[in-house]
Structure 1
Amino acid sequence: MNALTTRAKVGITVLTALLLASVAVVWALTRPDPQVEVDPTVSLRSPGMLVRDTTTGRLALVRADGSRAQTAATCARVYAAGGRAVCLRPDEASPGTFVLDVLASDLSVERTLPVNGVPTRARLSADGRMVAWTMFVSGDSYTSAGFSTRSGLLDLATGVLTSSLEDFRLVDAAGKGGKPPTDANFWGVSFAADDNTFYATMATGKHFYLVQGDAAAETVSVIGDGIECPSLSPDGTRLVYKRRLPDSTWRLEVYDLGSTRRTPLAETADVDDQGVWLDDHTIGYGRLDPANGRVSVWSVPADGSGSPVELADGAESPSAPT
């Protein structure tokens, strides 16, 4: 498949958002690395919440008392589950490019995979078998200034690699269909407990469709609209997602897969992140403070009640407490 002919540029507001996010990521990864005291006792099984420390760029552990321990892993985006972590990081052998590391529980590298673009999202299935990532990619659309996204999957049990979800078939309820639209962009993958079903956003035209995917069959089906960066609850019944507003900011909401009911959450600030379920009742997410440019991890109840609570200053990419 020729990427130059299978992608068209996205809307101007989306292009602007991707450009700004890409610039921010590259700047954060190329500034001088501060001196870091690494705690060699930390593993993916250590009690606490795992985050990316925005000051050091390291995978870090935030303990229940608020203290923080740095690890030796440097990541642009990171996510941990099932005793593994996926770490998208700069490729030291090729400046300006990135690779994906699969980390074992002791933070040793199990597998490294080259990826094209600038990291934006990373996910693992609950048992650590399935890996997903989304990258900002420049030059994929028919204008040299165009930006698009590319999402891939890796099954660590079988070794099956999907370089781009755009290679999957888009099917209807009867299983009929074909290639996704030429302007389709996929992002924000989240896996179900069966290690086969997944949810993601497919943007095409003016729509941000929620799709349900079948990794083995290599298909996706549209099941909703206006849903970006879905993340499946531990019980498999709900998705937290971000809803795009007319001014191109986002609000967090929860989508019930059974009833299709949508519940706005108590967080009213602009949240450009893929939320994570810290448990069946609590959503975690990274939130940028426009006043100082710092990103911090916050939480909010999943039923629309309560109010946001800051969990970790200078942190992003949270993973549920281990």
Structure 2
Amino acid sequence: MTATLRTRLLVLASALLVLAAVALASVLHASARAERRDRARPDGPEITSGAVVLTEPGRMVFRNMAWGPHRDELVSVPASDPSGPRTASHVKCLRFHAAAGTGVCLQAVHGPLSDTYRAVLLDARLHVTRRYDVPGIPSRARVSPTGHLAAWTAFVGGDSYAGTDFSTRAAVVDTRTGTLIPSLESFRIVKDGREYRSSDVNFWGVTFADDDRTFYATMATGGRTYLVRGDLRAHTLTTLRGNVECPSLSPDGTRIAFKKRVPGLPKDAPWRLYVLDLRTMRETPLAEPRSVDDQAAWADARTVVYALPGDFGADLYRVPADGTGAPRRISTAALSPAYP
């Protein structure tokens, strides 16, 4: 071997050793930074593994956002103590909802090149009963009060409701038969008393009544949003009111909590929470002064729960549904609450 060749090989080996050392140092630095981050959050919730059952009375189930081994898992807490110790299920969801012992969980499926997404239906003990492909980034999820229907929304173009350059796909499934309606765009639309067709129609934020037929959702078209009432038997959607997004039907079926765009607010934070009386169509602004980009949940007939950004990604807050009182944070590092 010539001296020149030996020199080149030594230079190459030295370079490889330097690169390996740099990579190792980066990994150790990242690990130390993660440990410091976790130590810097002594107020993180107490979490232990255990059984999470969707039929256990007096419980709240949600996605755990706290860093650690149970990140993104469904956890259960007493509804009367939502900031208390959490029981973790090992079932991971990006979005979740449950009612009457049935759950819907929107998940990421990590691949070698990119992620895909799916919706899974869960029984009361979180066993998977059915799986469906989701054609985009999961956004909203709901189960009907009877547990017989489930719905989800995904972004298939864009990733935010704040602007206008996005496209969504809302699906509804019969949890008993597995029959899937992959898109509400197949329904006949009645807008202002007339049949309506447009290529720019989008739907999201489904919420169900307890008759296994009626539902409500948001429709966007022509740069405006509308509250629509859907009929699963007639396959129709009828507009009821403008400027309504992410509706959530109250337990008694008489009111809808929703987010509304308010003129003068920033383009990336344009919403305020309201409750709509479906009989009188009277709107009541809620006492939350911040912009809420979430589909609120009803903790009971008097209280609305929703997520706002927090140190771990999201925290849960509650506010009276009649416009009185003040918002109160009830749980840190939490998202997608359900009171099954």
TM-score by length of 1: 0.81
Deviations 1:149-190 (A, max 9, x none): 11010012343211111111102586x6254x2111101000
Matches within 5 A, 1:1-322: 39-46=49-56, 47-55=58-66, 56-63=71-78, 64-65=80-81, 66-92=84-110, 95-138=114-157, 147-171=166-190, 177=195, 179=197, 181-246=198-263, 247-248=266-267, 249-289=270-310, 292=311, 294-320=313-339, 322=340
CA distance in 2, matches of 1:154, 1:93: 26
Contact 2:47–2:85 (CA<8 Å) still a contact in 1? no
1:93 Cα deviation after fit: 6.0
| Deviation of the 1:294 alpha carbon | 3.3
Q: 91-100 or 159-168, which moves further after superposition?
A: 91-100
Partner secondary structure for residue 185 of structure 2: helix
* Contact 2:47/2:86 (<8 A) preserved: no
Is the CA contact (8 Å cut-off) linking 1:62 and 1:312 kept in structure 2?
A: no
Q: Structure 1 residue 215: deviation in Å?
A: 1.1
Name the residue aligned to 1:18. Answer: none
Displacement of 1:80: 1.0
1:45 to partner: Cα distance: 2.2
Structure 2: state its 5+ residue gaps. Answer: 1-33, 39-45, 159-163
Provide the C-alpha distance between the structure 2 equivalents of 1:53 and 1:68, rounded to a whole number of angstroms: 9
Q: Is the 2:121–2:175 Cα contact (8 Å) retained in structure 1?
A: no
Letter in 1 for 2:278: L
Alignment RMSD (CA, Å): 2.3
Aligned equivalents of 1:157, 1:81: Cα separation in 2: 14
Q: Distance in 1 between matches of 2:152 and 2:286?
A: 26
Contact 2:102-2:122 at 8 Å conserved across structures: yes
Structure 1: how far apart are the matches of 2:199 and 2:143? 28
Structure 1 position 206, deviation (Å): 2.4
Which runs of 5 or more structure 1 residues have no equivalent in the other structure? 1-30, 140-144
Q: Output the amino acid matched with 2:63.
A: R
2:59 partner letter:
G
Deviations 1:95-153 (A, max 9, x none): 410010101001100111111100010000011110100001128xxxxx953111010
Native 8 Å contact 1:271 1:288 kept in 2? no
CA distance in 2, matches of 1:183, 1:173: 17
TM-score by structure 2 length? 0.77
Q: Percent identity, please.
A: 43
